[in-house]
Amino acid sequence: MYFELSEEHKLLRESAREFAKSLLEGVIERDEQAKFPFEQVQQMGELGFMGMMVSEAYGGAGMDTLAYAIAIEELSKVDASAGVIMSAHNSLVLYGLQEFGTEAQKEKYLKPLASGKKLGAFALSEPEAGSDATSQHSTAEDKGDHYLVNGIKNWITNGGNADIYLVIAQTHPEKQHRGINVLIIEKGMPGFTVGPKENKLGIRSSDTHSLSFNDVKVPKENRIGEDGFGFKFAMKTLDGGRIGIAAQALGIAAGAYQLALAYAKERKTFGKPISEHQAIQFKLADMEVEIEAARMLTYKAAWLKDQGKPFAKEAAMAKLLASEVAMKTTVEAVQIHGGYGYVKEYHVERMMRDAKITQIYEGTSEIQRLVIARDILK
C-alpha cells in the first residue's frame, strides 16, 4: 500500500491551504451575522473549487474525489461554512448532473454551475422525512409534457442563494420508492418560493432554508434519468456526499487541533508551557491519533470511488468516525484553551458549534451505523 499523495494532490493541497488563509479574515463576523460569503464563493469558483470533479469539457477542473476531499479539509480547517457550501454544490448537485444528466442538461445547467457562475442546491429533506428518501410527501404530478410540483423541503444548504435546485418528489405513490423522480428547478419559476433563513447553532454563514412549491410547472426535459429514477439518484448522490461531510468534519477537527497545539505551547502555568504537563500531552496525542485515523478512512473512501469500486460502506465509516472525532476534538480544544476557548476570538468555540452538524446531515450517526451494518451482514 502506498500512502504518499501525488505531486498533483500536494499542489492542490497547498493551493487550498493558501486560499483558506484568506477565509480567516472576517470569519468571526460572518459567523455572528450569519452572512453568506459571496466574495469568497466567487473566488472559489475562479480557483476551480466549485467544479472540482466535473470534466474540463463542461467547465470543471477535471480532478478526482481525493482532490475534492483534500480541498474541503483545508477550507474547513478555517471556515466550515465555506466547506459545506462547496461540498453540497459539488457532490450533491454537480455529481448527479454529470453522471446522469442529458447532454442538453449538462450544457444548460452543468457548465455554469461547474464554473462557479451559478450555485446549486439539493432538495431531499422534508419536515417529516429528514434523510429518508423513501418518504417523499412532495409530489411531481405528470401532466404529459410537464410536471406540477407541490410540497415543502427543509434544511436545504445553499437554499437561499442557489440558482439551480435538484428536487426529489413522488410521481407514482403506488410504486413507493420506485415512483420517485428528480427534477431540475430554477429559481424564479412561478410558484417556487424560498422560506426564511434558519438561525443555526453552527455553520452560520452557510445559508439553510425551507423551500415551498405550489403548482410549479417543470418541463419534462428537466427530469434527470428515467421515470422513477429519483430514489436511486438520491442514494448514489448521498454516498458521495458522505465523503464530503467526512472531509469537512476532518478539517474542523484538524483546524481545532492545530489551534490547541499552538496555544498549549504558548500558554504557561506554574512557570512552564501547559504542553509540558502530561495531562495536556495525553489530550494532544489522542487528537493526533484520531484525526489521522479519520483522514485515512476519508481518503480511502475517496480513492475507492475514484477507482470505480464499491465505496458506500467506507463513506459511511468515514463520515461516522470523522464527525465523532470532530466533536470530541473541538470540545477538547476548548478545554485546553480554558476560559479563552469560550470566547469568539480564539475560534475554537465556533469550531465546536460547527462540528455538531457533521453528526447530523447526510444522515445521522445512527444512519451511518445502519448503512455499515447492512453491508457487513448481507
Alpha carbon distance 318, 105 (integer Å): 32
Contacts of 192 (CB under 8 A, 6+ apart): 185, 211, 212, 213, 214, 216
By C-alpha distance, which of 259, 268, 247, 257 is closest to 323? 247
50: cell is 466549485
Contacts of 298 (CB under 8 A, 6+ apart): 69, 73, 243, 246, 247, 250, 318, 322
Alpha carbon distance 303, 168 (integer Å): 28
Residue 362 falls in the annotated catalytic set: yes
* Burial category of 306 from C-beta neighbours within 10 Å (exposed 0-12, middle 13-18, buried 19 and up): middle
Catalytic: which of 14, 128, 362, 366? 362
Contacts of 25 (CB under 8 A, 6+ apart): none
Contacts of 119 (CB under 8 A, 6+ apart): 41, 50, 85, 89, 113, 158, 161, 162, 163, 164
Fill in the DSSP letter of residue 171. S
Alpha carbon distance 240, 377 (integer Å): 22
Long-range contacts of 335-338 (CB under 8 A, 24+ apart): 335/283, 336/260, 336/263, 336/264, 336/274, 336/280, 336/283, 336/284, 337/259, 337/260, 337/263, 338/267
With H, G, I as helix, E, B as strand and everything else as coil, classify residue 215.
strand
Kindly state the helix (H) or strand (E) to which residue 19 belongs, with its residue range.
helix 7-24
With H, G, I as helix, E, B as strand and everything else as coil, classify residue 187.
coil
Q: Which sequence positions are flagged as catalytic?
A: 362
